[in-house]
Amino acid sequence: MRIDRAALPISLLAVSGMLIAVPAVVAGEEEIPRTASGKPDLTGRYNIASSTPFERPSEFGDKLFLTVEEAEEIMARTRAAVARSNAASDPERSAPPAGGDGSPGAAGAVGGYNSFWTDRGSDRFAIDGKFRTSILTDPPNGRMPSLSEAGKARRADLHPYAYENTGSAWWLETGDDPYDGPETLSVLDRCLYLGAAATPARPILYNNLKTITQTEDHVVILVEWMHWAKVVRLNAEHAPPEVRSLGGDSIGWWEGDTLVVETTNFLAQPGVPREGLKVVERFTRQSADGLLYEFTVHDPDYTAPYGGEFIWPQTEEQNYEYACHEGNYAMGNILRGARLLEREYLEQKAQAESTGSGSGLE
* pTM, 2 dp: 0.85
Q: What is the predicted pLDDT for the residue at 6?
A: 40
Q: What is the predicted pLDDT for the residue at 1?
A: 39
> What are the beta bridge partners of residue 278?
298
- 296 in Cβ contact with 307 (< 8 Å): yes
Q: Which residue has the higher pLDDT, 108 or 287?
A: 287
Burial letters 173-208, b for 16+ CB under 10 A, else e? eeeeebbeeeeebebbbbbbbbbebbbbbbbbbbbb
Per-residue pLDDT tens for 34-57? 999 999 999 999 999 999 999 999
Q: Which residue has the higher pLDDT, 178 or 258?
A: 258
- 218 in Cβ contact with 235 (< 8 Å): no
Distance CA 22, CA 289 (A): 11
Task: With cut-offs at 50, 70 and 90, classify the pLDDT of residue 4.
Answer: very low
Q: What is the predicted pLDDT for the residue at 323?
A: 81
- 131 in Cβ contact with 65 (< 8 Å): yes
Please state whether 133 falls in left (phi above 0), alpha (psi between -120 and 50) or beta: alpha
Q: Answer whether residue 238 shows pLDDT above 80.
A: yes
Closest Cα to residue 347, out of 169, 171, 181? 169
Mean per-residue pLDDT of the chain: 87
Q: Answer whether residue 113 shows pLDDT above 90.
A: no
One-letter amino acid identity for 154?
R
- Length, in residues, of the chain: 362
Q: Answer whether residue 351 shows pLDDT above 50.
A: yes
Q: Answer whether residue 88 shows pLDDT above 60.
A: yes
Q: Answer whether residue 30 shows pLDDT above 80.
A: no
Q: What is the predicted pLDDT for the residue at 163?
A: 82
Lowest mean pLDDT among 11-25, 123-137, 240-254: 11-25
Task: With cut-offs at 50, 70 and 90, classify the pLDDT of residue 153.
Answer: very high
Lowest mean pLDDT among 49-58, 321-330, 348-357: 321-330
Q: Answer whether residue 252 shows pLDDT above 60.
A: yes
One-letter amino acid identity for 166?
T
Across the range 194-202, mean pLDDT stands at 95
Instruction: List Cβ neighbours of 275 (8 Å cut-off, separation of 6 or more).
Output: 300
Distance CA 195, CA 252 (A): 19
Q: Answer whether residue 23 shows pLDDT above 70.
A: no
Burial letters 340-352, b for 16+ CB under 10 A, else e? ebeeebeeebeee
What DSSP state is assigned to residue 189?
A: T
Q: What is the predicted pLDDT for the residue at 212?
A: 98
- Phi, then psi, of 340 in degrees rounded to 5: -65, -45
Closest Cα to residue 259, out of 286, 241, 277, 239? 286
Distance CA 247, CA 274 (A): 10
Q: What is the predicted pLDDT for the residue at 29?
A: 54
Across the range 187-202, mean pLDDT stands at 92
Q: What is the predicted pLDDT for the residue at 361?
A: 54
- 23 in Cβ contact with 126 (< 8 Å): yes
Q: What is the predicted pLDDT for the residue at 109?
A: 64
Distance CA 162, CA 159 (A): 8
Per-residue pLDDT tens for 205-216? 999 999 999 999
- What is the Rg, in whole angstroms, of the alpha carbon atoms belonging to the chain? 23
Task: With cut-offs at 50, 70 and 90, classify the pLDDT of residue 21.
Answer: very low
Beta strands in the chain (DSSP E): 44-47, 65-66, 126-127, 130-132, 136-138, 209-214, 218-223, 228-234, 249-255, 258-264, 266-269, 272-274, 278-287, 290-298, 306-315
Q: What is the predicted pLDDT for the residue at 8?
A: 41
Task: With cut-offs at 50, 70 and 90, classify the pLDDT of residue 329.
Answer: confident
Q: What is the predicted pLDDT for the residue at 358?
A: 60
Per-residue pLDDT tens for 299-320? 999 999 999 999 999 999 998 8
For the chain, percent of residues with pLDDT exceeding 70: 87
